[in-house]
Amino acid sequence: MSELQVFLDDLKERVPIESVVGQKVQLSRKGNRYWGLCPFHAEKTPSFSVHPARNSFKCFGCGMGGDAITFVRETEGLEFFEAVRILADMAGLAMPQKFRGSNPEERGAREQAREALQYARQFFIQQLATADAAEARQYLQARKIAEESWQQFGLGWAPTNRQVLLEFLRSKQVSPKAMVDAGLALEDGQSRKLKARFWGRLMFPVADAGNRTLGFGGRYLPGSFAEDKQMGKYVNSPEGPLFPKRRLLYGLEKLQQGLRDYAEAPIVVCEGYLDVIQLHRAGKWPVVAALGTAFTEDHARRLARAQRRVVLLLDPDEAGRKAAFRAGRLLVAEGVDVRVAQLPEGHDPADMVAEERLEELSGCIANSWDILRWRLDTWARKTDFSVPAVVHQAAAEMAEWIATTPSPVVAESWENQVQDFLGVSAAALGKLLPHAAPSSGVVGRVGNASPPQNSAPISPQEVLRRNEREIIAAILHDPSAYPRFRQQLDTIQLSDSVARKVLTWCRQQRQSGEGFDLESAFLAFPDSESSLWLDQVRLNRPADPCLALERALDALPGNREQAVAAQHEDVDAEHLRSFLRRISISPND
């Protein structure tokens, strides 16, 4: 047993999982388990179970599960060893030096960068009350943003003098490296001196689900120097380990409470910071926004966990329609019931709340359209919709939507709607459906895991991703299995970025004579995506890692062939759509 596992077992023995979970969930005992309302999705009847004998929790509603480390990590938005450190403090155990990070200086700088973000948030809030921020206050008042909302969302002001923030951080003993790591400072291209990234902007702190400040968004004011010079209206903190933009949603720290407060309401996804703030003040829906218009698979998965209908309330312009299209596709793939609310032209949600048109706004949300019906209507508005080539183009897109949903019931309903709306036969539409899954419901096989009964089909690319990660998980659990399959493992090429990165590291460790295991992998890959996956690997050890590795390697060639074939079909379909676009006008997509 590894040193890490020994330490974690001792930790979990000293800190019962029910006491950890009980700090955030009201639990009641029934038999040998505790039950409560899940903290990861809104529910009225408890489906969240804690099993003390197994030191684990499981929600039978949203599927979230794990041990005390997983619980602290997910509820607080922490990295793996940060969660371990919190539990170690609760247990009165000292973290072994080797688990504090492979590079103490880097670890210290990262922790200081987190502190710098907290200092900066308070600094910006204080600056909003200064004379330098007079125009910012006037702007908020003109937009009818209540001062109560300023406080609830921590709105602030970045001074026009780019050294003021840095002087404040220096007074708090924040190092220059930590300022840069936090995304608060950057080097001047000529003088190489540090200067503040944000200046002369209204500041919106961005937090994770545990309400830790991870970064900021800054908006210039109308008529400002930044607007005159046509700088970006919004500037966000740079993407990085401390600010994983692709996984963050503005308002995320208030989402769980919103789900509880408005149990029957859909989650509303809007476009901007002020939209979230004003809709939150309206007090009728849980509300979030992507940081910019880039909605990602991580956002979709996060919202899918809430098991709630999602209404896309984006601006009624071309950019808003394109954003709704992209977000809708990703949410549909996660099995989410997605609707699109149609706003009056020239109005955004924040303005409608400010203008006291809340009843009208509520009507737009209540009467939102099913995502497929909305797309069909988009096509129908085209002036040349009667042209057969355009109908074909519409049918091809609808076939992709139908193939995307994991629900056979939704797919059948959509097929019927498309046939009626476009006037095409079931046979013609069926020919457009991309690489339908075999009747077994599973495309390919992973290696060891049997798919659950009645599970939705998964794509060949996803099967391949799981297969590749299964290979890496096996050798991390049992590094002695590597030499038995060295010829394959030394030459194998993987497509999944996480699996490829970890395998390259394993090879380098072997070549240097240092070796590898799951414990050292946690230290080598503190970034969120890899660390999250490694945590799942930790919780799911196969009975025989060597046998698991053999099966996963055997499954790889067939899964790779299916993934490549499916990709070629997608490329061929895109070539056809590209040709059709050249001979006809396509809708906004």
Q: Same topology for domains 3-99 and 109-243, yes or no? A: no
Is the pLDDT reported for residue 103 higher than 60?
Answer: no
Q: What is the pLDDT of residues 356-414, one digit of tens each?
A: 999 999 999 999 999 999 999 989 988 888 899 999 999 999 998 998 888 889 999 99
What does the pLDDT read at residue 107? 53
Confidence grade of residue 450 (pLDDT, cut at 50, 70, 90): very low
Is the pLDDT reported for residue 292 higher than 90?
Answer: no
Q: Computed from CA positions of residues 289, 291, 295, 297, in that sequence, does the dihedral angle turn out positive or negative?
A: negative
Q: What 8-state DSSP symbol labels residue 265?
A: S
Helix (H) and strand (E) counts in the chain: 26, 17
The backbone torsions φ and ψ at residue 299, rounded to the nearest 5 degrees and listed phi first, read: -60, -45
Span 3-99 CATH architecture: Alpha-Beta Complex (3.90)
Contacts 24+ apart (CB under 8 A), 501-505: 501/525, 501/530, 502/472, 502/476, 502/530, 503/471, 503/472
- Strand 287-290 relative to strand 267-270: parallel, antiparallel, unpaired? parallel
* Mean pLDDT to the nearest integer, 471-493: 91
**How many whole angstroms separate alpha carbon 421 and alpha carbon 410?**
16
What does the pLDDT read at residue 437? 39
**Do 315 and 350 form a contact (C-beta atoms < 8 A)?**
no
**How many whole angstroms separate alpha carbon 58 and alpha carbon 50?**
7
Q: Residue 122 class from Cβ within 10 Å (0-12 exposed, 13-18 middle, 19+ buried)?
A: middle
Q: Computed from CA positions of residues 472, 473, 477, 481, in that sequence, does the dihedral angle turn out positive or negative?
A: negative
* Beta-carbon contacts of residue 333 (< 8 Å; ≥ 6 apart): 297, 300, 404, 405, 406
What does the pLDDT read at residue 540? 86
Distances (CA, A) of 306 to 61, 256, 337: 9, 9, 11
Is the pLDDT reported for residue 456 higher than 80?
Answer: no
* Mean pLDDT to the nearest integer, 98-121: 72
* Mean pLDDT to the nearest integer, 519-537: 80
Structure-model confidence comparison of residues 584 and 89, the more confident one:
89
CA proximity to 50, closest of 25, 73, 74, 69: 25
Query: Would you give the end-to-end CA distance of the chain in angstroms?
Result: 53
Q: For 567, what's the count of Cα atoms within 13 Å in the CB-facing half-sphere?
A: 10
Which amino acid, 199?
A: W
Give domain 109-243's CATH superfamily.
Answer: DNA primase, catalytic core, N-terminal domain (3.90.980.10)
DSSP letters for 120-188: HHHHHHHHTTSGGGHHHHHHHHHTT--HHHHHHTT-EEE-SSTTHHHHHHHHTT--HHHHHHTTSEEE-
Q: What is the pLDDT of residues 231-271, one digit of tens each?
A: 888 899 988 777 878 778 999 889 988 988 998 899 999 98
The three-class DSSP label of residue 279 is helix
CA proximity to 445, closest of 559, 562, 557: 559
Which strand ranges, in their side-by-side order, compose the sheet holding 338-340?
249-250, 287-290, 267-270, 310-312, 338-340, 369-370
**How many CB atoms are closer than 10 A to CB 158?**
28
**How many whole angstroms separate alpha carbon 499 and alpha carbon 484?**
19
| Total number of residues shown for the chain | 589
Q: Which two tokens stand for residue 282?
A: 């309206």
Residue 355 zone, left/alpha/beta (φ > 0; ψ -120 to 50; rest): alpha
CA proximity to 331, closest of 356, 310, 360: 310
Question: Maximum distance among all alpha carbons in the chain?
Answer: 73
DSSP letters for 337-367: -EEE--PPTT--HHHHHHTT-HHHHHHHHHT
Highest mean pLDDT among 13-17, 121-125, 341-345, 442-446: 121-125
Global model pTM greater than 0.85: no
- Strand 234-236 relative to strand 213-219: parallel, antiparallel, unpaired? antiparallel
Q: What is the pLDDT of residues 141-191, one digit of tens each?
A: 999 999 999 999 999 999 999 999 999 999 998 989 899 999 999 988 777
CA proximity to 204, closest of 134, 138, 120: 120
**How many whole angstroms separate alpha carbon 220 and alpha carbon 200?**
7
Q: Which two tokens stand for residue 528?
A: 């969120």
Angle between helices 318-333 and 297-304 (to 10 degrees): 60
Q: Which CATH class is domain 249-367?
A: alpha beta
Taking only Cα atoms into account, the Rg of the chain, rounded to an integer number of angstroms, comes to: 26
**How many whole angstroms separate alpha carbon 83 and alpha carbon 88?**
9
- Strand 48-51 relative to strand 234-236: parallel, antiparallel, unpaired? unpaired
**How many whole angstroms separate alpha carbon 587 and alpha carbon 246?**
27
Structure-model confidence comparison of residues 302 and 48, the more confident one:
48
CA proximity to 64, closest of 29, 25, 93: 25
Q: Where are the domains of the chain?
A: 3-99, 109-243, 249-367, 434-589
What does the pLDDT read at residue 500? 92
